[in-house]
């Protein structure tokens, strides 16, 4: 029973990672950071990294893989937001 719960938990974390994919696609298509909270997505990314470390200490493969998948998708939103924000700020400086 414990293994079944662990597998379901891992699948839930993978589904959590998939929830970030529409945001990744939206940011990528718009090529803009407009409407994206860097604090929110950056915070999620930090928490997911902490979850991976915790999973390593607990030797919990479901937690490690699920958090890694979430970090990949959420981290992509964070990275794209940073990229487009830096570009926007630099473009604003060039116009001044």
Q: pLDDT (tens digit, 9 = 90+) per residue, 44-77?
A: 999 999 999 999 999 998 899 999 999 999 999 9
- The answer to the question of residue 57 being in a domain is yes
| Cα(63)–Cα(85) distance, integer angstroms | 31
- The answer to the question of residue 45 being in a domain is yes
- The answer to the question of residue 31 being in a domain is no
Q: Which two tokens stand for residue 52?
A: 């991976």
**Rg from Cα positions in the chain:** 16
* Number of compact structural domains in the chain: 1
- The answer to the question of residue 56 being in a domain is yes
Asked if pLDDT for residue 96 goes beyond 80, the answer is no
Q: Tell me the residue range of the domain where 74 lies.
A: 36-96
- The answer to the question of residue 17 being in a domain is no
- The answer to the question of residue 86 being in a domain is yes
């Amino acid at each position: 029973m414990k293994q079944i719960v662990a597998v379901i938990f891992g699948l839930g974390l993978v589904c959590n990672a998939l929830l970030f994919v529409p945001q990744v696609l939206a940011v990528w298509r718009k090529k803009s950071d407009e409407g994206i909270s860097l604090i929110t997505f950056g915070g999620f990314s930090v928490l997911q990294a902490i979850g991976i470390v915790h999973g390593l200490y607990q030797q919990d493969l479901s937690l490690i893989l699920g958090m890694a998948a979430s970090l990949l998708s959420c981290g992509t939103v964070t990275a794209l937001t940073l990229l487009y924000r830096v570009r926007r700020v630099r473009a604003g400086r060039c116009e001044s």
